[in-house]
Structure formats: structure tokens, C-alpha cells
Amino acid sequence: MTNTRRNYNDAEVAAMLAQVRSRCPLCDDPLFYRKKQRQFKGYDLAHIYPLNPRPEEVTELVNSPRLCADVNDPDNIIPLCIKCHRKFDKPRTEDEYLELYQIKFDALQQEQQRSLASQYPLEQQITEVVAHLHSAAIEQDGGFELAFTPKAINDKLDATMPPPTKRKVRNAVEDYFRHVQAAFLELERSDPGCSELIFVQVKSFYVMQKRQSLTQAQVFANLVAWIRTRAKAQTLESAEAVASFFIQNCEVFE
């Protein structure tokens, strides 16, 4: 039975273009070109697994994973520039298929993660904690103590956390842990119980990540992105410092 190519509505096309940021995911060329002060389409909507695979393609991809059973599902479609689409199709190879499969898989995971993250609140006072990291100096005050028991970073990070990321987390803890702690102490003085609520929210977000069986590297990246968005962090480094604080204080990666 021959499959018929379906038409995709404007919303579906916009979503697929957003997944690749309107650039060809294989060559990084823009998927639109401008001519005579107008924008024109310069891409095709390509099937990752073929719409109607030839016998040799069935053999070539027999052991390859598929993103979905329905070849016309948007999850099996990706915008490619016309040149890359032609090259991808003729002839189709397993290596090129797996490359495009992984690109689309990662895009779908990121999309799902953004949707999930939007469901998890984080008290707006987290912005005050992040803002402290941009201060020239932070006064330490021994009059308050936060309820947590620090644990050595090396004991918490496993083999799924790449060495460069481990180093980044360790450095952030060494450089910023006390500053973040001082920010939470100041927040607790002005708004008692707020820091505990934030800790609970971070723990809840982490548990949601853990249930997806993600690697520690993926969880850390998602935690950083969530904190950066919710805290309106000016820099990626400040969000990483706060995320590293929560790793050190046992809210994340038991």
C-alpha cells in the first residue's frame, strides 16, 4: 500500500520550523531567502523515515529506530534546505538517517522539556538570589542557618555527567556556594519560609526530571534552563551557580 503525503497546517509548519530555528539542521543555511524586499521559502518538509521506502531502503534501515509509527506524523518530518533534502534522499544511508533522527529526537525532547518546565513554578524571590551573584560583596551573617547537610560533589556526580560539566559544577560550588547561601539567608530574614518553599520547588522539579530517566548532564542542563527562565538571570553562569548550589546542598542528585 502506498502512503499519501499529507498537508500540514500553518501551526504544524511553524512548530517544525521553530524546532530547527528556521535553519537547515544539516548545513545551517537559512530556510528562507529574501529577494526584492520579500521573504521566500527555501526548504522542503522532509520525511526522516521515508514516506514510501524502496526495498533497498527497508533493508538499509531495518535495525534503525523510528520516531513514530506514522510516517506522516510531524514527529517524522523535519525542514531541510532543498540541497540537503536531495542529498539525504539519494541515496538514503543509515548513518545520515541516524544523524537526522537524533537531531529531531533532541528537538522533540527540548520541546517537551520546555512544556514540562512551564508547569513547575518557582517563587519570584529566586530573582533576588540570582541578583546577589552580581553584587561586589555579600556580607556573611552567622545568625541564621539553612536546614541542609552538604555532601561532597564528587560523591553525587556519576559517569553520566561529562568531566567538563563536573568541573564546571565543582568550580561553581567553590566560587559561589557561600554567596548563594548568604542570599538565601537574607531572603529568609525578609520573608521567613520562602527559602524552604524554593527548596521544595527545586526538589519537585528534580524528581520530575529523575522520573524521565535522564542523565545527570541532561538534568543539570534542564535545571539551569528552568532557573534561568524563572529567575530572569542575566547570565548563564549565574543560573549555573544556583543550580550547582542545589546539587551541593542535596536537593538534587541525592
197 and 228 co-located in one domain: yes
Cβ-contact 252, 242 below 8 angstroms: no
Total domains in the chain come to: 2
158 and 100 co-located in one domain: no
Digit-coded pLDDT (tens) for 204-247? 999 999 888 889 999 999 999 999 999 888 889 999 999 999 99
99 and 131 co-located in one domain: no
Determine, yes or no, domain membership for 116.
no
130 and 243 co-located in one domain: yes
Digit-coded pLDDT (tens) for 128-151? 888 877 664 544 444 444 444 455
Among candidate residues 59, 84, 111, the one where a domain is terminated: 111
Task: Give the integer Cα–Cα distance in Å for 78 and 188.
Answer: 48
44 and 146 co-located in one domain: no
Q: Is the pLDDT of residue 201 over 50?
A: yes
89 and 157 co-located in one domain: no
Among candidate residues 59, 81, 111, the one where a domain is terminated: 111
Residue 57 corresponds to which amino acid? E
pLDDT at residue 186 in the model: 87
Among candidate residues 65, 82, 111, the one where a domain is terminated: 111
Could you list the residue range(s) of the whole structural domain that residue 45 is in?
A: 10-111
96 and 143 co-located in one domain: no
237 and 136 co-located in one domain: yes
Digit-coded pLDDT (tens) for 93-110? 999 999 999 999 999 998
Determine, yes or no, domain membership for 212.
yes
Determine, yes or no, domain membership for 26.
yes
Per cent of the chain over pLDDT 90 is 59
174 and 97 co-located in one domain: no
Give the SS3 label for residue 97. helix
